[in-house]
Every structure is written in C-alpha cells, then in structure tokens.
Amino acid sequence: MNDGKKYLIVVVGPTAIGKTARAIALAQHFGCDIISCDSRQFFKEMRIGTAVPSVEELAAATHHFIHNKSIFELYTVGDFEKEALERLALLHERNPVAVMVGGSGLYVDAVLKGFDAFPDIDSAVRVALTKAYEKQGIGYLQDELQRIDPEYFAVVDTENPQRMMRALEVSIGSGKPYSSYLSGKENTRHFTPVVIGLTADREVMYDRINQRVDVMMREGLLDEARALLPHKNLNALQTVGYRELFDYFDGKTDLDTAIADIKKNTRRFAKRQMTWFRKNEAITWFDFEADPAEIVCHINKQITQPL
C-alpha cells in the first residue's frame, strides 16, 4: 500500500463474542499492532474478571493499552482518547494499518470521532448527587438519569453508580443532556476507519456469556475479587463481575446467587453494548463465525491498495 493513507480497522461487538481472536487474526494478516479499547482491561489489578487476552494471545500480536494503568489512578475517556491517538500516530509511521478492538462504545467513539468538550461543573453538584445516592440508593440515580437523559440511560451500565453520577453531574450542571456531548461535531482524524461488528443470535450470545463466567470462576475470579474488596468503592471496580462478589463478601447474598447475578448483569451489559453500536451506521456486521477471508475481503475493498 503506497497511497499515503492511514487506516484503522476497528472490531466491535458485545462481550464474549470473540473480538480478541478476530482482531489478532486481522493484525497478523496486515502485519500490524492492536490498540485495546476495553475500558476494564486498562487496569492491571483486574485480570480474570475483565477477560484480558491470554499470554498466548498477547504473544500472537502486539497489544497496547492492556494493564497499563492501576485502579488507583484516575483515568478518563478523554485521557484515553489523547493517548490512543498519540500511539496510533506512532504506529502509522511504521504501518499504514492498525487494528483497534473493544466493546466500550464510548471509548471507541472517542478515538474515531471525539466528542464535545465537557463543561466545567460546580463541585456542589457532585456533592449533592453523592449525598442523594448515599441516602436513596442506586434507584435514585437510575430514575433521575432516565428522566433527564433517556438516550444515555438506554446505553449506560445502570448498575454503575459512578457512570450515572457523572452523566447526571454534566446534565444538571450544564442544563444539557450528557448524551448531547457525545454526538457533536466530529473531530479531524489522520486515519480512515474501517469498522466491523461481530454478532450472534441472542441465545448463542447469552450462552457464550454464561460459559465465560463459569470459566472465570474456575480460573480464580473469587480470589481476585476478594483481594480487591478493600478497594471496592474505587470507580474502576464499579463493574459487573466484581460488585456482585463484593455483595457476597459483605453477606448480602450467597455465592450461587452472586454468580447468577454476574451472568444476568453481563447479559444486560451485552444488550446495552449492542444498543450503542447499532446506532453507528458505519459498522458492517458479520456473524461471529463468519469466514475470516470474507472479512478481509470486505476490509480490502475499503482500502485503496489491498494487502
């Protein structure tokens, strides 16, 4: 390829659909690196519960943004956007193609098009929201977000109080829905994206999720969560797979129920991922078992000089 253009192949889809394996195959085909765009896999203390690529998978292709942060660091989507774009510029100096993979729709959109800068919000708004949450529970945040910003409510993890408080903070403090800042004018990018999505029938998707949770438990998720229990209030740990086990450790539920809740909440998470990605008309969808050659053929058609 010698047209001087740069391309970013993006692999998206719900959790447990097989994005990692597909991204590695594409990276090997195009001889390029992979940018991980999974907001949970950034954190080095969270390995089993975030389904980080295995040692063999990491060796099969060079990955970036895997275990590069600590749960004790504040790391925002804006931070990731800046760092990912800088890394992509370096990768594109060596190869006109790079691959990005992940199921975190907000972070994918940040890299592909960016979004309007969030306004400065009076800290009193967050203080008031925090007090209301502590007094009335997560149901208060859910009800308020659904009322103020139903569009974002439809795609956000409604079991994550930090995500909802941030959206409410911006919505209340600015007088504009949080979602309005996510769909503004697209920023200039130095690359052309080629976005593919992996999907499956709902029952197949849900079965894969249930099996993955069982594997995580066998691999030691319970011990991993137990080690993180003292830090359960950190933003990074407000996520499915950990908070259910924290409830078990706190005596709020039994282990079987906690595991069943992980499966249920992961299925809900996958549904919200698909809701987010379905809004993006630039995504070309493939069955998760599609012939790799079919996907490569599609990508080559989007690239001026096929590899």
Three-state SS for 67? coil
Q: What is the C-alpha radius of gyration for the chain, rounded to an integer number of angstroms? A: 20
Show Cβ contacts of residue 232 under 8 Å, excluding neighbours closer than 6 positions.
242, 243, 246
Q: Which of 134-138, 221-225, 288-292 has the lowest mean pLDDT?
A: 134-138
Flag whether pLDDT at 17 surpasses 70. Answer: yes
Average pLDDT, the chain: 93
Categorize the per-residue pLDDT at 119 as very low, low, confident or very high, splitting at 50, 70 and 90.
confident
Categorize the per-residue pLDDT at 160 as very low, low, confident or very high, splitting at 50, 70 and 90.
confident
Three-state SS for 174? helix
pLDDT digits (tens, 9 = 90+) for 295-304: 999 999 998 7
Q: What is the CATH number of domain 7-114+186-302?
A: 3.40.50.300
Closest by CA to 64, choosing from 33, 109, 102, is: 33
Check if the beta carbon of residue 111 is closer than 8 Å to that of residue 81.
yes
Q: What are the structural domain ranges in the chain?
A: 7-114+186-302, 123-181
For residue 302, CA distances in Å to 86, 110, 238 come to 24, 22, 38
CATH class of the domain whose range is 123-181: mainly alpha
